[in-house]
Amino acid sequence: MSSSAVAAVNSQGRRLTLRSNGVEREFAALWLRERAPDEATLDKLTGQRLIEAAQLPLDLTITQASVGVDTLQLDFSDGHSTQFTLSELLSDDKPTRQELTDDLQLWDASLDTLPEANFGAALESDAALLAMLDDLRRFGFVRVVGVPCEEDGMQALIDRIGPLRRTNWGGIADVKSVAQAYDLTMTQRGLEPHTDNPYRDPIPGYIWLHCLTNAAEGGDSTLTDGFMAAQRLRQESPEAFECLTQLSPAFRYVDATTHLESEGPLIELDSHGRLARVRYSNRTERMTAYDPDTLERYYAARKRFYQLITSDALTVQLKLSPGEMLIMDNYRLLHGRTAFQLEGGIRHMRQGYVDRDSTASRHQVLRSTIAPQQHATIATPEQGYAL
Ligand code: OGA
Ligand code: ZN
């Protein structure tokens, strides 16, 4: 790669253009200076920045640039010199105009093989755990079989990934019908597709739903890919899509000892315009009393989104058996259940939440240690920054 690389300094030294194998990228001099991978700029041990980037002169320039074998040597007008690894620089993340991140595979009701993992294997083997987390990332859910049929049977696998998120309901909590329900969860009602707890901040990243018994009539699980529904909405009605990305309803949960409130759009995009998260919780949504025109647009858009997320074409339905568990991405998936009648038997699920950052961190670390050749390499600070 590097032998064909060419570097050109332009805009009076304020920019650097790199051309290599048909790829061209332009870098700002200030960006290159603040990211200089050397010991004077970044701490050798942690990779964290030592210089105060905001104090660099805004008119900083590159005074000299030379390309070697996969290296780029730069001198700056503040007297600093550094050397980049060319291939790393050229593969550094850049802004994109994609609608989705590459590693997601959207699905609908035609998904015939559900992603599946084995509890014992994921517990014992890092490769099996990585495969499970790859599927969770790609599809937004995974069915796990072989979970011990004990109240906290999921805990051992959670411990392999990150801390269990504790809430006002405790750690791993019951999902079953009780006489004094504090939430519709604890009834025999069917639950329409929803994301969990949009009234929390942060919203729980992953839902772990473990089946202990499911003998009642009904009580099937339903799953919908919220990103697929959002994509369909974007295609058929860009205005409705935009409306749902721009208006933020509030969500609220109140009981005798708890008052939780937060807000956010039903479809949220990241800074690059890519789908980042969906929220949908009819139970707890409390739309602000905007002016009627705005609300009419919102209600029409929400109705269309609702029709998509409840449509047979987008819904996968399954019945969890004892010892099975679903892990679901609560920023992407809508999940629900059909109503159940206890005459047939008991239905007892247990549910826990795990945060997004710890799950993503475990995934990244496993990727870089087990399968670095298959995945983008993620250098640890020592590997990335040592001189
Ligand atoms: C819930 C929920 C799933 C189930 O209570 O929010 O999604 O299968 N329950 O009972
Ligand atoms: Zn739920």
- The CATH number of the domain holding residue 54 is 3.30.2020.30
Residue 111 lies in a domain: no
Give the pLDDT score at 314.
Answer: 98
User: Which residues have a Cβ under 8 Å from the Cβ of 146 and sit 6 or more positions away?
Assistant: 118, 119, 120, 323
Residue 27: band (very low, low, confident or very high) from pLDDT cuts 50, 70, 90: very high
**Are 83 and 160 within one domain?**
no
Distance 191 CA to ligand 1 centre (A): 7
The radius of gyration of the chain's CA atoms, rounded to the nearest angstrom, is 25
Nearest residue (CA) to ligand 1, atom 7: 336
Q: Has residue 62 got a pLDDT over 90?
A: yes
Return the ligand 1 atom nearest residue 207 CA: 7
Give the pLDDT score at 380.
Answer: 46
Give the pLDDT score at 233.
Answer: 98
Pocket test for ligand 1, best of 141, 172, 175, 338 (most atoms within 8 A of CB): 175
Residue 125: band (very low, low, confident or very high) from pLDDT cuts 50, 70, 90: very high
Mean pLDDT to the nearest integer, 255-268 = 97
Residues with Cβ within 6 A of ligand 1?
A: 175, 185, 191, 196, 209, 221, 335, 337, 349
Distance 244 CA to ligand 1 centre (A): 24
- pLDDT tens for 345-386 read 899 999 999 999 999 999 999 999 997 655 444 444 444 433
Residue 386 lies in a domain: no
Give the pLDDT score at 3.
Answer: 54
Give the pLDDT score at 377.
Answer: 41
**Are 85 and 129 within one domain?**
no
Residue 108 lies in a domain: no
Compute the distance between CA of residue 241 and CA of residue 64 in angstroms, rounded to an integer: 48
Give the pLDDT score at 177.
Answer: 86
**Are 153 and 252 within one domain?**
yes
Nearest residue (CA) to ligand 1, atom 5: 185
Between residues 220 and 187, the one the model is more confident about: 220
What pTM, to 2 d.p., does this model score? 0.91
Residue 71 lies in a domain: yes
Domain that holds residue 310: 116-378
Compute the distance between CA of residue 61 and CA of residue 78 in angstroms, rounded to an integer: 8
Provide the 3-class DSSP secondary structure of residue 256.
Answer: coil
Distance 123 CA to ligand 1 centre (A): 25
Ligand closest to CA 219: 1
**Are 75 and 216 within one domain?**
no
Q: Find, among 202, 123, 191, 200, the residue nearest to 157 by Cα.
A: 123
Q: Using an 8 Å Cβ cutoff, are 21 and 31 in contact?
A: no
Return the ligand 1 atom nearest residue 219 CA: 8
**Are 158 and 281 within one domain?**
yes
Distance 224 CA to ligand 1 centre (A): 14
Query: What is the domain count for the chain?
Result: 2
CATH of the domain at 202: 3.60.130.10
Give the pLDDT score at 22.
Answer: 86
